[in-house]
Chains A and B, each alone.
Chain A
Amino acid sequence: MSDLQNEVAELERKSATATRLFDIRRIIGGLFGLYGVIVTIAGITASDADLKKAENININLWTGIGMLALGLFFLGWVWLRPAVPPAAAELAPAGDEPPAH
């Protein structure tokens, strides 16, 4: 392997992202859940002027429900398939073997 490949392989072994970076699915789920609730409430309490502006579609209600569904989808995904910490073999300091990825 070239110098560059050795250097990057070494950095990959020391890298902490795989083990310590949080799961973005929770953040998407949380933000869209919250957005969904807020916008759905705005839809339930929509004024006649709001409805008229949006061509008589209660767009806040539908968008709110949609965002809530997306938020729940991501939270459900985390719940069903939680992030798996990398296998021990991949974390162990590699000897002569090249890294798995």
Chain B
Amino acid sequence: MCAGASWTILRDAASRLLRMWAEKAEKKKPMLYDLFIGPFAEFDFMRRALVGVVALSVSGGAIGVFLMLRRMSLTGDAMAHAILPGAAIGYLVAGFSLPAMTLGGLAAGFAVALAAGAVARVTVIKEDASLAAFYLISLALGVTIVSLRGSAVDLFHVLFGNVLALDDDVLILLSGVATLSLMTLAALYRPLVMECVDPGFLRSVSRSGGLVHLTFLGLVVLNLVAGFHALGTLLAVGLMMLPAAAARFWTADITRLILLASGFGMVAGYAGLVLSYSAGSNLPAGPAIILAAGALYLGSLLLGTQGGLARRLLPRRHLRA
């Protein structure tokens, strides 16, 4: 109830702000207004998409930074695929139902994360190979299950999401996940960083290492399931990894990395929506958002101050000491 009420207030405030901004901008530069603000002032679904993408970026950026620093980028990708069969079973049972697909996705994500970890511990297979095996199985299984009942359009929806059709329930889920993730990350920040830098040391002073790791995996699954509703199973991980990887080219400080990654995610979300809107029906919004994030990544790779390519090609003279 409380979440619903505050959500309504937030939404009203945002749309009022947008309208004010829009009125001001309209007087000055109609062209830019049409391109950058108009779509959001005019269409409810664009505003919803923007809010959803911003919520995803808030927590996705931080999660992505930790995934990257723990060399688990591909783990994130694999887990994104792994949630598919669960979501598909939810779809099979209840159609496009938010709770069914969310619960199914969460169950499948946790199951694969735990199973992959267990296989890596008790057999000769390493965790990456084991994850690859599980996610391939999951992806094939998920596509099969969706195809059992749904059309090609449904399949497309599941794989690539439908960011332009976010209803209130999905938005509440996305912002709830973002809030929960940020609070959990804040609580676990110290042991999480220690577990990344020096797991042996954390083990020697505390038994929390395993729990921290599991909680973090849980957050990854949770954010992927949230992302799944907006961007689909194949692209959900895009708003996590691309902004994080792009941010790494600009700073080596973990706090700034997290802030920058979240910021990049929001910029990519906004730019992708604008891009998709102005391209008409030719450019679906989900891929446009990930493409915008990809452009940010490539730009950072080229121009970044921390090991970007341009710095490499134009080396500055070394210092005296």
A and B: real partners?
no
